[in-house]
Structure 1
Amino acid sequence: MDLLEFWTKSKETIDDLVGKFMNDLKDWEVLEMSKYIMRDGKRFRGTLLFLLNNALGGDEKDAYPGALATEILHSASLALDDIVDYDDYRRGKKAAWAIYTNRRVIFVSNFLIPTALNIISQYGDRALNISIELWKDTAVGALKDMYGESKDYFKTIELKTASLFKLPTMLASFSSGKSNAVDLTMDLGKYLGIIYQLVDDYVDCVKLEREKLVGSAKQLFQITEGRVDSLVAVEFDRNKSEYLKILDSLPIEENYKDSLSSLPDFLAYGLLSEAGIKNKMF
């Protein structure tokens, strides 16, 4: 199965789910801002849920609510991040707060977050409770990202980024009827999320001037004293190895094994290529 083709197809499905969700919103002001906040997403986290759900033998339609909820939470987190970081642009367009003001975006985000958690409740109390804990972890991670010490770099990126990778992989265990594997699927998401943020921070360290580095990218630069390549290479390989070990322990259907095994490299090369860093892996 071609991973890029699967992602493209999944994105179309998730965009349709988002569109239907928007059509059910009645308040025009909430609708307008929600549409803007959720526009043009890559839908990778929802796609990850589909991929793992299907690989575990689940019906993809059973993963629709989880994918929608994951994308709502991810989009809300980005809208709030932009306010905190004073980022004027997101996905090539003005950030939501720069158009609607930070107060209004905070209010709408506070509408979207419990709405997403309510959708997740369809999978039962355990799935909901884990989702709430993961959302709390993202809040702690955001604090560590802004105010934490560089020595806690890996804990920071696990909390701030990997939590929203754990969410779809965890939900896949419920949507596929394999809730006994929830801990393993969460670990799968953890290592994938760490890899994603590690490479994303590496890109910032390579592309940006030192004084422009913020958050976890700045922490990475500090703990390596600017020599990021060797640490990133070692940690990428280590987290990829742990990811593959967990994948081998899950009851994955044969036709999905190659796609799931290639995800760490797929993510890394995608981020590097997007940043104009080609023919080089750290």
Structure 2
Amino acid sequence: MDLMEFWFRSRSVIDDLVEKFLRESRDWEVMEMSKYIMRDGKRFRGTLMFLFNGALGGEEKEAYPGALATEILHSASLALDDIVDYDEIRRGMKAAWAVYTNRKVIFVSNYLIPTALNVISVYGDKALRISVDLWKDTAVGALKDMYGKDEDYIRTVELKTASLFKLPAMLSSFSSGQSQYLDTLMEAGKDLGVIYQVIDDYVDCVTQEKEKLVGSAKQLYNLTSGKYESFVRLKYSEYKTHYEGLLNSLPLKEEYRDQLIALPDFLAFGLMGEAGIKNKIF
């Protein structure tokens, strides 16, 4: 099974997990808003949970709670980001706040976040503590995204985006019973998260007028004085090389190795292809 097939299959499984989670909600209004917030996600982060868990010899069902919790947290973070950024469109439809109002979405997000952390608690206290710390990192990253200095661009990206890539990689160490590789897996997740956000910001720089750039994309543009291509190429190469080195230090099952190696290119080319821009940097 190649990476594309694995992703399609994982996305289907995660969608089923999300649907089951929503059906079990006891409050109809909360369920409806939660369903809207969690609709139509790419499920990249949940897929990472399945990939690393399987590569380390874990049973797929043991990764279900981590994949679900990761997607809940990611969806809640996007819903809150849209409020802060006044973004009215998310995944081709009105953002949740534009449908349900700011207050309701904030309240529902405040319901989803501890619910996800409660799901994570099945992996034990250490996994839960780390997850809380990673969620706090995303909050700090969101502040840096709005108010941070241009020269802190990479740190902003590590916090605001890579934290939620580190999460499923970290949880896979517990789901697979390979917690001795926790630190290595978190580093691998960080590398993938930085790659994802740097390419996402590159796409924004290419497709938007500089006056309309916000957050980390604006920081990238300002940091490089508009000459972002060479910077993005360099950082992509650096993080991809480091990521591959980490993979070589892990006892991966061979049937997963090629899929994991392909992840940086998969994420990068997927983002550029979705935006309809030609590859200018690789």
TM range (shorter): over 0.9
Equivalent residue number for residue 176 of structure 1: 176
Alignment of 1:126-141 (within 5 A): 126-141=126-141
Equivalent residue number for residue 111 of structure 2: 111
Quick check: 2:53–2:175 contact (8 Å CA) kept in 1? yes
- The runs of at least 4 aligned residues of structure 1 exceeding 4 Å deviation read none
Shift of 1:281: 3.0
Which secondary structure state, in structure 1, belongs to the residue aligned with residue 251 of structure 2?
coil
Equivalent residue number for residue 258 of structure 1: 258
Equivalent residue number for residue 240 of structure 1: 240
Alpha-carbon separation, structure 2, partners of 1:280 and 1:174: 39
Equivalent residue number for residue 79 of structure 1: 79
Which secondary structure state, in structure 2, belongs to the residue aligned with residue 273 of structure 1?
helix
Equivalent residue number for residue 204 of structure 2: 204
User: Is the counterpart of residue 215 in structure 1 residue 212 in structure 2?
Assistant: no
Which secondary structure state, in structure 1, belongs to the residue aligned with residue 216 of structure 2?
helix
Alignment of 1:1-282 (within 5 A): 1-281=1-281
Shift of 1:280: 3.2
Quick check: 2:272–2:279 contact (8 Å CA) kept in 1? no
Q: Which amino acid aligns with 2:278?
A: K
Tell me the number of residue pairs that the alignment of Structure 1 and Structure 2 aligns: 282
Q: Structure 2-normalised TM-score? A: 0.99
Alpha-carbon separation, structure 1, partners of 2:166 and 2:207: 28
Can you list the C-alpha shifts for 1:74-100, whole angstroms capped at 9, x where unaligned? 000000000000000100000000010
Alpha-carbon separation, structure 1, partners of 2:34 and 2:90: 14
Which secondary structure state, in structure 2, belongs to the residue aligned with residue 262 of structure 1?
helix
Can you list the C-alpha shifts for 1:190-230, whole angstroms capped at 9, x where unaligned? 00000000000011111111100000000000110000011
Q: Which amino acid aligns with 1:187?
A: E
Long gaps (5+) in structure 1:
none
Alpha-carbon separation, structure 2, partners of 1:143 and 1:278: 32
Alpha-carbon separation, structure 1, partners of 2:12 and 2:224: 40
Q: Which amino acid aligns with 1:85?
A: D
Alpha-carbon separation, structure 2, partners of 1:183 and 1:19: 32
Alpha-carbon separation, structure 1, partners of 2:280 and 2:213: 22
Quick check: 1:269–1:281 contact (8 Å CA) kept in 2? no
Q: Which amino acid aligns with 1:182?
A: L
Which secondary structure state, in structure 2, belongs to the residue aligned with residue 57 of structure 1?
coil
Quick check: 2:230–2:281 contact (8 Å CA) kept in 1? no
* Identical counterparts, % of pairs: 70
Alpha-carbon separation, structure 2, partners of 1:268 and 1:34: 29
Long gaps (5+) in structure 2:
none
Can you list the C-alpha shifts for 1:251-270, whole angstroms capped at 9, x where unaligned? 10111111100100111111
Shift of 1:26: 1.1
Quick check: 1:82–1:97 contact (8 Å CA) kept in 2? yes
Alpha-carbon separation, structure 2, partners of 1:153 and 1:18: 33
Shift of 1:279: 4.1
Q: Which amino acid aligns with 2:246?
A: I
Quick check: 1:70–1:167 contact (8 Å CA) kept in 2? yes
Shift of 1:161: 0.2
Can you list the C-alpha shifts for 1:121-174, whole angstroms capped at 9, x where unaligned? 000000000000000000000000000000000000000000000000000111
Alpha-carbon separation, structure 1, partners of 2:251 and 2:281: 31
Quick check: 2:54–2:176 contact (8 Å CA) kept in 1? yes
Alpha-carbon separation, structure 2, partners of 1:27 and 1:279: 46
